[in-house]
Amino acid sequence: MGILSNILGKIFPSSHAANAPAAGNAPPTTAGTGAAAPAGGAATASAPPAAMSEVDVEGMLNGLAAKSSEKLNWRTSIVDLMKLLGLDSSLTARKELAQELHYSGDMNDSAAMNIWLHRQVMTKVAANGGKVPADLKD
């Protein structure tokens, strides 16, 4: 997943399981991981603890927002969230994200799409080990 992977990559530390290649492409990586597992057992053993760690997403994003020269409301705006993370927040990028997340609504209704995208992204962040306020998830 291109844009979602970029979002997860900006939120989670590089050692976090959400940033593992398997996060976006499980089938191809699983075969590669299976072949590499016997040779690198120690590396495989260190991966599960990273998956168990939870990232305080609210604290991290609030910290970024405090340092930003713009007033960005990441809690309600997918555009502001993407800007805060230093990602392209254009309509084209958001439509691409909507396709990645299988949005079935009208992409020309950007307001509805943006609300849906924000909820989906927060839900995906939570599913990958992010501590996200309950009111921001589906």
pLDDT, one tens digit per residue, over 1-17 is: 599 999 999 999 776 55
Q: Quick check: 19 and 52 in contact, CB under 8 A? A: no
User: What pLDDT, on a 0 to 100 scale, did the predictor assign at position 137?
Assistant: 80
Looking at the predicted structure, is the pLDDT value of residue 23 above 70?
no
Q: Which residue has the higher pLDDT, 99 or 34?
A: 99
Q: Quick check: 83 and 106 in contact, CB under 8 A? A: no
Within 10 Å of residue 36's Cβ, how many Cβ atoms? 13
Return the ∠ at Cα 129 (arms to 128 and 130), rounded to 5°: 105
pLDDT, one tens digit per residue, over 36-61 is: 444 444 444 444 444 446 899 999 99
- pTM of this structure: 0.73
Looking at the predicted structure, is the pLDDT value of residue 67 above 90?
yes
User: What pLDDT, on a 0 to 100 scale, did the predictor assign at position 72?
Assistant: 96
- Which pLDDT band holds residue 19 (cuts at 50, 70, 90)? low
- Which SS3 state, helix, strand or coil, does residue 26 take? helix
What value does the mean pLDDT of the chain take? 81
pLDDT, one tens digit per residue, over 80-97 is: 999 999 999 999 999 999
Within 10 Å of residue 72's Cβ, how many Cβ atoms? 19
User: What pLDDT, on a 0 to 100 scale, did the predictor assign at position 45?
Assistant: 44
